[in-house]
Structure 1
């Protein structure tokens, strides 16, 4: 698997989006920026033109901060990145896709997906639905975990090892 690096000067928006995604995914160990960005690219490559345009227009409210790193570099699958870059060129009618724009729009699209998913989960939790012996909050956690695992499967060997650890923990319960 050939890899490429996406390098940007981090903005408050980009760092905040990474942090919010980690928080929404439950803050599971191993959900580093590289793994997150790979999942984000996998999710983004199948979005419709309108979804990408909406993500580009979306303004995420963030608080100014002074603790930004001087640079941000994530390794990703070359083929996957090239696919997403080509989608961006087609959708936004541009000849060159700048890394900060790519990262902000893809992170925003994925973050919106997680927010919408949590709204649906909250509706289920509010009804206290039971599935077998599981409460709604347990079911919703399992559903979210399943989504993340499906995205992780398509990333890298390190992520696959993390999945095996998580699977082992789930089997112990």
Structure 2
């Protein structure tokens, strides 16, 4: 076997490894979209009782093929005592495709904008899923309209209009 054949076989093997690695990567991180949800209101993480804070916010989600997601949140948190706090934050996630429509998301960072005035103590109880290190498994499916449905283990969480 001469040097030219060895070079061709080596180059083919390297290309094959690159294609297999790229295919594996895309199978683990296969989302690429940006969408926004309408204003959403729900009770906090305290058993959905009337003594829990309520949240009213809009959000923009961005998922990319590199296994990264960003959620931009703007809105208000209302306490049972009648105090309203402004939320304006970006939450950064790493995600992995688990199979089917299921994805594992983990918060890697959170950045607050200047007018976000939710106290840390309230954020820890009412916004725990947005805190660094928090993780969850969600289902993400595309509707025939092109919009996305994000669901947790209980049911649909939000319908997100794709841009």
Considering the TM-score relative to the shorter chain, is it more than 0.5?
Answer: no
Structure with the bigger percentage of helix: 1
Structure with the bigger percentage of strand: 2
TM-score normalised by length of structure 2: 0.23
Q: Which has the higher contact order (CA 8 A, sep 6+)?
A: 1
- Radius of gyration: which is bigger? 2
TM-score normalised by length of structure 1: 0.22
